[in-house]
């Protein structure tokens, strides 16, 4: 299995494709990330890739795997990433 692309490799690729300095490509990635963090509470969409959404999880019963003792897991908010249909089709191939 191939290694995942690092931020530096992504910036190199973008800089080459867009004919901009690597520093500008790095700045773009940083700004995109900070915008996504700031706007995730309103659902942040990257067209063709997916979207970040906030979900509320209900409280539920779980168990301690070591002792088997039941315990209550409290309700909480979580961030989820939903992959777009276009990305799924491009990666997995159309069905």
- Report percent pLDDT > 90 for the chain: 91
**CA 40, 59, 54: angle at the middle one, nearest 5?**
10
* In the chain, % of residues over pLDDT 70: 97
Grouping H, G, I as helix, E, B as strand and the rest as coil, residue 90 is helix
Are residues 22 and 11 in contact, defined by beta-carbon separation less than 8 angstroms?
yes
Q: Where are the alpha helices (DSSP H) in the chain?
A: 7-18, 22-39, 85-92
Q: Structure pTM?
A: 0.76
pLDDT for res 1: 67
Which position has the token pair 């963090």?
37
- Per the prediction, the chain carries an average pLDDT of 93
Alpha-carbon span 12 to 34, nearest angstrom = 20
In the chain, the domains with their CATH numbers are 1-39 (no CATH), 43-95 (4.10.520.10)
Q: For residue range 34-74, list pLDDT tens digits in order.
A: 999 999 888 999 999 999 999 999 999 999 999 999 999 99
């Amino acid at each position: 299995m191939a290694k995942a692309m690092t931020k530096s490799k992504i910036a190199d690729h973008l800089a080459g494709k867009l004919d901009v300095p690597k520093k500008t490509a790095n700045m773009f990635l940083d700004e995109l990330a900070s915008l996504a963090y700031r706007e995730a509470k309103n659902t942040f969409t990257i067209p063709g890739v997916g979207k970040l959404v906030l979900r509320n999880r209900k409280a539920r019963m779980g168990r301690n795997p070591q002792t088997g003792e039941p315990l209550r897991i409290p309700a909480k908010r979580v961030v989820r990433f939903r992959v777009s249909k276009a990305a799924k089709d491009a990666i997995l191939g159309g069905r």
